[in-house]
Amino acid sequence: MAIIVEKRDLTPITSLFEVNAPLIARNAQPGQFVMIRVNQQGERIPVTITDSNRSKGLVTIVVQVVGKTTHLLRSLERGDRILDFVGPLGRPVELPKHGQAALVGGGFGTGAILSLAKELAARGVEVCSIIGARTRDLIILEKEVRASSDHTYLCTDDGSQGFHGFVTGQLEALVRAGMAFDQVVAIGPIAMMRAVAETTRPLGIKTQVSMDPIMVDGTGMCGACRLTVDGQLKFACVDGPFFDAHQVNFAEAIVRSKTYAEEERAALTTAVAAGG
Amino acid sequence: MPMVQLKKTPLPALDPIQRRLGFQEVSLGYSPTQALAEAQRCLLCQEPNCEAGCPVGVPIRDFIKLIAEGKPLEAVRAIKQVNSLPAICGRVCPQEHQCELKCVIKGKQEPVAIGALERFVADYELAHQGAQTSVNGYHRNLVNSLPGKPTAKVAVVGSGPASLTAAGDLARTGYHVTLFEALHVPGGVLMYGIPEFRLPKSIVAAEINKLREQGVEIQCNTVIGRTITIDQLMHEMGFGAVFIGSGAGSPKFMGIPGENLKGVYSANEFLTRINLMKANRFPEFDTPVKKGQRVVVVGAGDTAMDVVRTAIRVGAREAYIVYRRTEKEMTARIEDYHHAAEEGALFQWLTNPVRLVGSDDGWVRGMECIRMELGSPDESGRRRPLPVAGSEFLMEVDTVVMALGTNPNPTVSQSTQDLVSDRYGHIKADPATGATSKPGVFAGGDVVTGSATVILAAGAGKRSAQAIHQYLNERRKAPTAGAPAVGC
């Protein structure tokens, strides 16, 4: 049981929550996630930790409505309790100790690059953050990302703000302009992460992605989150969530992510109709 | 002289048609009259072979004698001196490979139904004494009568059979025990793995409640190694010793093409979705599961039987077990195998999957198999299955479940620097005490042995509880000497 101490709506479909979870805040490292269940009938879903404050015992998460559970989660308010809030799970991301790094956040993935930007800034790495969304109203956490990045670039698919086009276009432009990234980390929708991987592959830039497959327990027990990485079987929950983007079998991961698309749609529609 | 009863007193079971309608327990257990009749079949051997067949040495002859004398509560007390979980073990132990295999009357007659009798007395106690802490009170508060610090805290990691046993024994000895469970409910494999129709969750809940009454604190949603590390438990939170019973929860796959198609599950995933998350009741519960019409389960252990029987209950029209050896080599309990067959499970012996074939949109649609034949014995003593060239054939499927066994969960070993594991991730521990390479840390059950049985895990938990008591006692006597070297 974890109490929500702060809630901030970032877009019409995205909210930021600060949750009182001292044990998780104490051990959380950049790139880790929590498993959440909102009620006794609920499913368990993974949510990336956006930020953590050890001294205050707080964990920050960003939730975008994609299905019933995120819909229910986003309807919670300050003072409400999250039934199950477990973590920090997964291996922390391995970040460079110096040089230049690009962080690419797509949609609510921007929430996930924030803790990485903070860590890299603390290490003295030059951080270029590229944050993208379909349109300007869906860009989140711009101020927070700017505060921890040396350079911040916005991209919108419709050109309503910043670079007109995908994050990969901005990334390529930066490389052409002479940025010599030692590493790229991309977090966001799977199609975006695959596009970043294909952009950096010919450039030979080490690239990591945070995989977000379907999970049941999130602790290494069920194998639902299995991926093929460099031809090997990997569990995103305990071997990841970060993997070498150039080795991930994205095609397979995309197919697997749609296993319950039908059920997810039906459940969300019912939940929204019920006003729950 | 009464007539010798050659066969076991039949164990009543739910009607097979009725079974398919739900998850009600199938094996119904003996009535007092039936138990008495069965107990009277026991010859009460001077040197009971059956006890040598029990991995933890339950005093089988004595408890059966007590049943025959009409003293079921004394019988259960005798069992619990050695095994804290008779209601569970009576249901899930593979007795035909253990105690009943060694029964002296076996051959001429059917062996005494030791497992059914164990279950009978345990259920009798639950029904007649509730969750009363009637047993093992013999060493209650032993710790408080000892000189030195009044109480010590012990952390127990995981809440399956090894941990439940260790926690209970340590609490009764007088320790302050906190049990840490990663999932949102305690019970481990007894909850997420073994289905209700084989082990009612009320039985597990009764064991957990008993622990709570004995003062064990249960903290769910806590992943040791992540939420709290072993070092934090010991150095920051004041736990004098830690028992790791985190089990072998990491599923194995075959490594054949097509294994990542949609509709292919590990047994753990399939069972967890249904047992723990109630996916069979989607959309009332939010977790979905594909209710396959043609289900193939690969493997023939207890878990494979659990999966095939579960698939039948959630609506499979055809549900197969595919196994590369024969019925003779399968490791499943014979009772559960019979139940599975009665419920309509189909068996493809001497058959091994080669690859899975998918539809254009990535759903599993076929399983190519090859027939096998048995060659000479392998290292397990069982005849090695060898493929028969040219015997490939295709099975039409829409769901495949891999029930191939499990590896230890890597979380605790990965996050604890000085804890030595083997290359498969099994924690190295002294078989007699559970002591690991890290002083004050003990381990037992599947995390040490790899996937095994409830009774072996419970036995390991019991030995570790004694060893932890001894360890803390020695430290108490020499508080300044630091941690004694407890090697492995």
| Complex ipTM value | 0.95
- Taken as a whole, chain A contains a residue count of 276
Query: What's the number of domains chain A is made of?
Result: 2
Nearest to B183 among A217, A228, A258 (CB): A217
How far separated are the first and last CA of chain B, in Å rounded?
55
Domain range holding A245?
100-257
State whether A105 and A195 are in the same domain.
yes
What b/e sequence results for B36-60 when a residue is b if at least 16 CB atoms lie within 10 Å of its CB, and e otherwise?
bebbebbeeeeebebbebbbbebbb
Same domain, A110 and A83: no
pLDDT of residue B411: 87
Q: Which of A89, A122, A157 is the last residue of a domain?
A: A89
pLDDT tens digits in sequence order for chain A, 276 residues long: 899 999 999 999 999 999 999 999 999 999 999 999 999 999 999 999 999 999 999 999 999 999 999 999 999 999 999 999 999 999 999 999 999 999 999 988 999 999 999 999 999 999 999 999 999 999 999 999 999 999 999 999 999 999 999 999 999 999 999 999 999 999 999 999 999 999 999 999 999 999 999 999 999 999 999 999 999 999 999 999 999 999 999 999 999 999 999 999 999 998 888 875
Residues of B in contact with A221 (CB under 8 A): 192, 249-251, 268, 272, 409
Indicate whether A247 and A173 sit together in one domain.
yes
Find the residue in A nearest to B261 (Cα).
A256
Helices (H) and strands (E) in chain A, counts: 9, 16
Q: So what's the pLDDT on residue B249?
A: 85
Q: Are A160 and A232 in the same domain? A: yes
Q: Match 């047993």 to its residue by tokens.
A: B135
Q: What is the pLDDT of residue B166?
A: 95
Q: How far is CA B72 from the centre of its chain?
A: 24
Residues of chain B with CATH 3.50.50.60: 146-249+408-477, 253-404
Query: Would the pLDDT of B132 be above 50?
Result: no
Mean pLDDT of B357-372: 97
- Is B246 part of the contact surface with chain A (CB cutoff 8 Å)? no
The answer to whether A165 and A199 have CB atoms below 8 angstroms apart is: no
Answer for the pair B404, B390: CB distance below 8 angstroms, yes or no: no
Mark B348-359 as b/e (b = at least 16 C-beta within 10 Å): bbbbbbbbbbbe
Residues of A with CB under 8 A from a CB of B: 23-24, 27, 37, 41-44, 68-69, 83-89, 216-217, 219-224, 226-228, 233, 235, 238, 252, 255-256, 258-260, 263-264, 266-267, 270
* Residue range(s) in chain B whose domain bears CATH number 1.10.1060.10: 16-131
Q: What is the pLDDT of residue B378?
A: 85
Kindly indicate the confidence band of residue B17, based on its pLDDT and cuts at 50, 70 and 90.
confident
Q: What is the pLDDT of residue B488?
A: 39
The pTM of the full predicted model, rounded to 2 decimals, is 0.92
Shared domain for A81 and A104, answered yes or no, is no
Report chain B residues whose CB lies below 8 A from the CB of A44: 184, 277, 287
Evaluate whether B241 touches B442 at the Cβ level (below 8 Å).
yes
Between A276 and B407, the more confident residue is: B407
pLDDT one-digit tens code per residue, A165-223: 999 999 999 999 999 999 999 999 999 999 999 999 999 999 999 999 999 999 999 99
Q: How many CB pairs under 8 A join A and B?
A: 119
Are both A66 and A124 inside the same structural domain?
A: no
Token couple for B360: 């254009």
**Which pLDDT score is estimated for B477?**
77
Question: A82 and A110: one domain?
Answer: no
Question: Which of A49, A69, A89 is the last residue before a domain boundary?
Answer: A89
Contact A46, A237 (CB under 8 A): yes
Interface touch B286/A267, C-beta < 8 Å = yes
Closest to B268 (Cα-Cα) out of B321, B198, B182, B195: B195
Under a CB-based contact definition with an 8 Å cutoff, are residues B308 and B320 in contact?
A: yes
| The predicted structure's pLDDT at residue B138 | 37
Q: What is the mean pLDDT of residues B100-111?
A: 90
Here the CATH number for the domain that contains residue A49 is 2.40.30.10
Each residue of B275-323: pLDDT tens digit? 999 999 999 999 999 999 999 999 999 999 999 999 999 999 999 999 9
Can you tell me the mean pLDDT for B450-478?
A: 90
Do A71 and A104 sit in the same domain of this protein?
A: no
Q: What does pLDDT average to over chain B?
A: 90
Residues A212 and A107 in one domain: yes
- Chain A positions in Cβ-Cβ contact with residue B227 (cut-off 8 Å): 23-24, 27, 86-88
What's the CATH class of domain B253-404? alpha beta
Q: Which residues in chain B have their CB less than 8 angstroms from residue A29's CB?
A: none
- Both tokens of A223, joined, read 């194998």
Check CB contact under 8 Å for A43 and B286.
yes
Amino acid at A155: C
In a domain, A80, yes or no: yes
Q: Does residue A267 lie within any of the structural domains?
A: no
B159 pLDDT tier (thresholds 50, 70, 90) = very high
Instruction: Tell me which architecture the domain covering B146-249+408-477 has in CATH.
Output: 3-Layer(bba) Sandwich (3.50)
A134 and A213 part of one domain: yes
Mean pLDDT on B155-176? 94
A27 and A118, same structural domain? no
Residue A268 lies inside a defined structural domain of this protein: no
Considering the domain architecture, whether residues A105 and A178 belong to the same structural domain is answered as yes
Tokens matching residue B485: 């070297």
Note whether B20 and B54 are within 8 A (CB).
Answer: no
**Residue B222, pLDDT above cutoff 50:** yes
CATH architecture for the domain at B16-131: Orthogonal Bundle (1.10)
Residue B464 dihedral angles phi and psi, to the nearest 5°: -65, -35
